[in-house]
Amino acid sequence: MNKKVVVVGGGITGLSAAYYLQKAGVDAELVEKSDHLGGKIETVHKDGFTIERGPDSFLARKTSMLKLAEEVGLSEEVVKNATGNAYILAKGRLNRMPQGSHMGIPTRRRPLLKSSLFSGFGKGRALLEPYQRVNTKKNDEALGVFLRRRLGNEVVENAIEPLLSGIYAGDIDQLSMDATFPQFKQVTEEYGSLVRGLKATEAVPREKRTHKKPSAFRAFAGGLSSFVEAIHSKLKPGSVHLSKGVDHIQKRENGYHMLMSDGEVMWADEIILTVPAPVAAKMLAQYEWVEPLKQMKATSVANVAMAFDQSAIKQDIDGTGFVVARTSGDYRITACTWTHKKWAHAAPEGKALLRCYIGKPGDEEVVDKSDEEIKKIVMNDLEKIMNITDQPDFFVVTRWHDAMPQYSVGHKERLTKIDHYLKKDLPGVQLAGAHYYGIGLPDCINQGRAAAKRIIERG
Ligand code: FAD
């Protein structure tokens, strides 16, 4: 095959696409606007701590990342998370997530009844779920609307919403059910109840329903950036171009001209765009049908990793962190991971690493405060919640602007239309990555690999 493919964007999606293309012998080049690879993946090593500024782990159940790790020789470096209780800050205190919950959805009667998270009314409402008629909608609807209808507002607001907004940093009453958790609808239809369906399928593994929770996440002992480096090392020398952004794409007979930020023009027979949707829309601004891509929003978030001596943690928890329910009033952090408890490689002996998250719909401006201000806001909350009063030895603030794609209702339908126009007007140009068909790292790898496969199969 002697066609030339250009992969735009050097995040995990672009790296995977370039890797699988080159592995099949395709002449693929990767162009990245910034001066480094990895996109949202960024690990900092400081004083024996391993600090992730973006993602910190990946789901083992979705196997694409483990497979790629094996291919690039990193299997030995894979580490498992320590399991422990997850907590939710609601009603002004930390409450244990009821055992057997899946994404905050309580699936077992007794833990639900014993939980301090819900009132008697809230528990009763949730327990009625299996007796409701199947009231799923044919068309897409908001995830929050569906869950409220099945389980009641209290369970949604005190358990499900804090967990899901931790993943999507969005408003679950706007997030698309079809694009985020289509399986909730499927199992409800198949088993006549969401709870029965989750229990009957893989969603709630048997171990979870009995005693020991299996560890669901994986990371790399050297941090996620070591994975980026390992993939990079497998790419052909000279095929990766940093500090080279694409501004515009123009169709030519049998291929494409790509106008680069440095004024150069690159030729491509086929292109994989792994950039955010509004960025892709700008590159293809001459086509009216890109309008929906411009509308695809992403929220801004920030996190602060704080390194402490163990002695600063006076009120230890037997768990790995907590998420904050929006109903809990005046807290500005949205979640806090006790990273040293979850990941042995993250902190040296005798030290603690906490990572707190801020920024949510309605409180996005907090992201643009100064490092000191952000630390102060977080410390203020931590003192109220965990009685932590000592200052950290050091802290690392990371801001991610427009970084968490929001799959709003109708997302999949909009993408189907865009895909139709791409095939018609720009054959050989594909979209892949977090803004389109899944945000988790394994989902991104799957998209990169699938885009590469389509090119390879076309020959
Ligand atoms: P990106 O990583 O955004 O890469 C896109 C690349 O395109 C960037 O490098 C960018 O510089 C480049 N680019 C932009 N414009 C141009 C241009 N014009 N020309 C050339 N290049 C361009 N997922 C998990 O599975 N587990 C987690 O624990 C997790 N935690 C997260 C925590 C945070 C704070 C964030 C922000 C995300 C998290 N995610 C997590 C999600 C996951 O990290 C992302 O969805 C994923 O890394 C996105 O990869 P990508 O390659 O699709 O996009």
Residue 445: which H helix or E strand, with range? Answer: helix 441-458
ipTM of predicted assembly, 2 dp: 0.99
Does the beta carbon of 65 sit less than 6 angstroms from any atom of ligand 1? no
Strands 298-309 and 394-405: antiparallel
Looking at the structure, tell me whether residues 170 and 104 fall in a common domain: yes
Which atom, in ligand 1's list, is nearest to the CA of 357?
34
Looking at the structure, tell me whether residues 280 and 417 fall in a common domain: yes
Residue 220 is assigned to a structural domain of this protein: no
Residue 77 is assigned to a structural domain of this protein: no
Strands 4-8 and 429-431: unpaired
Name the domain count of the chain. 3
Cα dihedral across residues 95, 96, 99, 100: positive or negative: positive
Looking at the structure, tell me whether residues 285 and 304 fall in a common domain: no
Q: What pLDDT does residue 2 have? A: 81
Which atom, in ligand 1's list, is nearest to the CA of 405?
45
Residue 57 is assigned to a structural domain of this protein: no
Residue 394 is assigned to a structural domain of this protein: yes
Mark which of 382, 405, 428 sits at the end of a domain.
405
Which atom, in ligand 1's list, is nearest to the CA of 403?
36
CA of 417 to the centre of ligand 1 (A): 24
Q: Label residue 92 left, alpha or beta by phi (over 0 means left) and psi (-120 to 50 means alpha).
A: left
CA of 357 to the centre of ligand 1 (A): 17
β-pair partners for 85:
319
Looking at the structure, tell me whether residues 392 and 448 fall in a common domain: no
Looking at the structure, tell me whether residues 291 and 412 fall in a common domain: yes
CA of 11 to the centre of ligand 1 (A): 5
Does the beta carbon of 112 sit less than 6 angstroms from any atom of ligand 1? no
Looking at the structure, tell me whether residues 304 and 354 fall in a common domain: yes
DSSP 70-105: HHTT-GGGEEEPPP-EEEEEETTEEEEPPTT-BTTB
Q: Which residues of the chain have pLDDT under 50?
A: 208-210
Q: Cα(5)–Cα(26) distance, rounded to whole angstroms?
A: 8
Looking at the structure, tell me whether residues 270 and 187 fall in a common domain: no
Looking at the structure, tell me whether residues 149 and 290 fall in a common domain: no
Residue 150 is assigned to a structural domain of this protein: yes
Looking at the structure, tell me whether residues 276 and 418 fall in a common domain: yes
Residue 87 is assigned to a structural domain of this protein: no
Residue 214 is assigned to a structural domain of this protein: no
Cα–Cα separations (whole angstroms), residue 148 to 100, 142, 184, 349, 384: 19, 10, 13, 44, 30
Nearest CA to ligand 1 atom 48: 434
- Return the beta strands (E) in 124-281 as ranges: 217-220, 240-241, 246-252, 255-260, 265-268, 270-273
Does the beta carbon of 217 sit less than 6 angstroms from any atom of ligand 1? no
Looking at the structure, tell me whether residues 160 and 308 fall in a common domain: no
Q: Cα(133)–Cα(136) distance, rounded to whole angstroms?
A: 9
pTM to 2 decimal places: 0.96
Looking at the structure, tell me whether residues 166 and 188 fall in a common domain: yes
Q: Which residue has the tokens 């690159």?
A: 266
Q: What pLDDT does residue 204 have? A: 58
CA of 434 to the centre of ligand 1 (A): 7
Q: Which residue has the tokens 């309008």?
A: 291
Q: Which CATH number characterizes residue 275's domain?
A: 3.50.50.60
Measured in whole angstroms, the distance separating CA 326 from the mean position of its chain's CA atoms is 20
Alpha-helical (H) ranges within 284-394 are: 291-295, 339-342, 371-386
Mark which of 202, 237, 271 sits at the end of a domain.
202
Does the beta carbon of 10 sit less than 6 angstroms from any atom of ligand 1? yes
Looking at the structure, tell me whether residues 292 and 416 fall in a common domain: yes
Range of the domain at 141: 99-202
Q: Output phi, psi for 39, to 5 deg.
A: 60, -120
Q: Cα(218)–Cα(386) distance, rounded to whole angstroms?
A: 27
For residue 385, the one-letter residue type is: I
Q: Which CATH number characterizes residue 344's domain?
A: 3.90.660.20
Residue 74 is assigned to a structural domain of this protein: no
Q: What pLDDT does residue 84 have? A: 83
Task: Write the DSSP symbol of residue 419.
Answer: H
Does the beta carbon of 437 sit less than 6 angstroms from any atom of ligand 1? no
Nearest CA to ligand 1 atom 24: 440
Mark which of 168, 202, 236 sits at the end of a domain.
202
Query: Which residue, among 3, 11, 32, 50, has the nearest Cα to 448 in the 3D structure?
Result: 11
Counting beta carbons within 10 angstroms of the beta carbon of residue 267, is it exposed (0 to 12), middle (13 to 18) or buried (19 or more)? Answer: exposed
Q: Which CATH number characterizes residue 182's domain?
A: 1.10.3110.10
Q: What pLDDT does residue 1 have? A: 67
Strands 93-96 and 58-59: unpaired
